[in-house]
Structure 1
Amino acid sequence: MNMIKFILTAIILIFSLNSYCQTKITSEDLKLAVGNWEGSITYLDYQSNTPFTMPANLLVEEGNNSNTLVLNNSYPNEPKANNSDKIKIGKNGLLLNKHAVTSREGLENGGIQIQTEHDAKDDGKKARIRYTYSIEKNVFVILKEVQFAELADWIKRSEFRYTRKK
């Protein structure tokens, strides 16, 4: 009977430590992104294997609840590509856009950097995808990196880099 108590206690301890160590984010972490931004997107063109940069603007608004931001993307040189997207916190702050939050760091200037990772396909191949959201008072960067299953290195797939409009 003592062995069963020991095993149950160990299991409970392991599960509680696991949930304690998980990285969580809150709606407060994302509020700094709300506003009007201008900048560019740079993405890797797989056909030519060279980066391509074009102007991009972003209007970030609060969504229908505090855990959602709406991103209205506009491209001055490619208006047909204009779109809207969302950033949504899920599972009590453990997920961002349904992807596991792997790190959350406060930046010295009062900003925040959040990383997520998930398995998916990119260019038709199995890959690990990592998003890094760096949100500061006047700078907002969304970086997408790809690690193909057969490679150890991460490839910079795209980077949205914005400065806050005055």
Structure 2
Amino acid sequence: MPAKTFLRALLIAPSAAFSSRWADTALLLFRLHLGLSIAIGAGWAKLVGLYTATEAAKLAGAVPAPPDWFVQQVAGLGFTQPSPYLWAWLACWGEFAGGLLLALGLLTRWSALQLAFQFFVVAFLWYEAPEPLLGMYYQQLLFWSFGLVAVLGSGRYSLDHWLSQKRLPRVPRVALAGALLLALLTAPVAAQAPATVAMRELAGLARPWQGSLTYLDYQTKRPVTLPTVLNGMQSAPRELVLDFIYQEPEGGQVKGYDKLQLSADGRRIIWDGTPMQVISRQREADRTLVLVLEGPGQDDNRACLIRRTLRLGTRQLSVVKEVKYADSAAFLTRNTYRFTQGAPSAATGADIKSAK
């Protein structure tokens, strides 16, 4: 059978019924379990952060969005272009909407095919020691299950089969399927349009600032505050260098710097070597820029999701760095810079040591 004919039969042809109604009933029960379990237990659970039945109160006022740990996991698999957040959205909504469509038996083959792709990635790329065919882990079982439904179709007891019996013209039916699929794929993108920032908005960093750094000492578990001077400068058309001078309690000074590189589309900033996505950008009433960045990185020699929140006003500047480890449920504040605009101070000779 030519490949074109096979794909047409797989994705467009109406769903046929089995010769036995018992077989169709078994397929219906299989579809209901497979579709509803993945829609509610995986897709919707991720979107609203619902992990147990006792957390049902979260559903009130919940804003569906992929959790940070899942975004980090997606980024770790290499799905970073144009954004790991976008891929996480598509995966979550693919599980939720695709599972519901699978249970209803509507666009069954399309839904099963995209879910099979998702679990192919999970079963054979994400899984630490994949064992094709022989491995007894549920991710691989789900991959083969979705693949089976993609080939078999939905059976007699499904909306696909009912629509096929209505003798609808082929072109409108295909157009309807395409429109529904397009709506499914574009809904999460429209709901989470990528935020961007322009270099001119960050130009205020390229000035002298005076203030402090407060950081969490991991040994004592106590916050430490150091007087700090920041001298910012623009070193390239889309690059900023932030020079810091820290005043130590013993009287010496420590010098460090961060380099910020803005992508051409304004969606990403490489901050001190860590690629970070622009998650949100807002302007407050006093024109203060509030920028939230997130990206996978390292902290305390551990993999984590890093979040930086920058607030840049005409005379006030703050940068908060938070980290979230894979085994943590919430972000931990790592350090906070607070500055007001001021003149740079001099630092000389042996008092200055290189630090990060």
Q: In 2 relative to 1, CA 99–76 (structure 1 residues): closer, same or farther, beyond 3 Å?
A: same
Q: Does 1:54 align with 2:231?
A: no
Give 1:15 deviation, angstroms.
5.6
Bigger share in strand? 1
Which residue of structure 1 aligns with residue 330 of structure 2?
A: 153
Contact kept, 8 Å, 2:322 with 2:334, in 1: the verdict is yes
Structure 2 unpaired stretches of 5+: 1-170, 344-356
> 1:80-105, CA deviations, whole angstroms, 9 ceiling, x for partnerless residues?
x3123222211511101121111111
Q: Distance between the aligned counterparts of 1:83 and 1:5, measured in 2?
A: 59
Q: Distance between the aligned counterparts of 1:13 and 1:152, measured in 2?
A: 29
Which residue of structure 1 aligns with residue 294 of structure 2?
A: 117
Which of 257, 273, 276 pairs up with 1:84? 257
Contact kept, 8 Å, 1:38 with 1:162, in 2: the verdict is yes
Say which is worse superposed, 120-129 or 149-158, in terms of deviation: 120-129
Give 1:137 deviation, angstroms.
0.7
The amino acid that maps onto 1:52 is: V
Larger radius of gyration: 2
Which of 55, 58, 68 pairs up with 2:239? 68
Contact kept, 8 Å, 1:24 with 1:101, in 2: the verdict is yes
Q: What secondary structure is seen at the aligned counterpart in 2 of 1:63?
A: strand
Q: In 2 relative to 1, CA 88–12 (structure 1 residues): closer, same or farther, beyond 3 Å?
A: farther
Which residue of structure 1 aligns with residue 200 of structure 2?
A: 28
Give 1:114 deviation, angstroms.
0.6
Contact kept, 8 Å, 1:33 with 1:136, in 2: the verdict is no
Q: In 2 relative to 1, CA 104–7 (structure 1 residues): closer, same or farther, beyond 3 Å?
A: same
> 1:25-53, CA deviations, whole angstroms, 9 ceiling, x for partnerless residues?
11122012221101111110111110111
Which residue of structure 2 aligns with residue 96 of structure 1?
A: 269
Query: Structure with the greater relative contact order (CA < 8 A, sep ≥ 6): 1 or 2?
Result: 1
The amino acid that maps onto 2:324 is: Q
Q: Distance between the aligned counterparts of 1:91 and 1:15, measured in 2?
A: 24
Say which is worse superposed, 12-21 or 134-143, in terms of deviation: 12-21
Q: In 2 relative to 1, CA 29–4 (structure 1 residues): closer, same or farther, beyond 3 Å?
A: same
Q: Does 1:45 align with 2:217?
A: yes
Say which is worse superposed, 91-100 or 121-130, in terms of deviation: 121-130
The amino acid that maps onto 2:334 is: R
Contact kept, 8 Å, 1:100 with 1:116, in 2: the verdict is yes
Give 1:7 deviation, angstroms.
2.8
Query: What is the TM-score with the length of structure 2 in the denominator?
Result: 0.42
Poorly superposed stretches of 4+, deviation over 3 Å: 8-17
Q: Distance between the aligned counterparts of 1:123 and 1:84, measured in 2?
A: 19
> Could you tell me the percent identity over the aligned residues?
24
> 1:1-43, CA deviations, whole angstroms, 9 ceiling, x for partnerless residues?
6627963895499469738811111112201222110111111
Q: What secondary structure is seen at the aligned counterpart in 2 of 1:75?
A: strand
Which residue of structure 1 aligns with residue 130 of structure 2?
A: none
Query: How many residues are paired up?
Result: 164
The amino acid that maps onto 1:96 is: I
Give 1:74 deviation, angstroms.
1.2
Say which is worse superposed, 154-163 or 7-16, in terms of deviation: 7-16
Q: Distance between the aligned counterparts of 1:28 and 1:12, measured in 2?
A: 36
Which residue of structure 2 aligns with residue 18 of structure 1?
A: 189
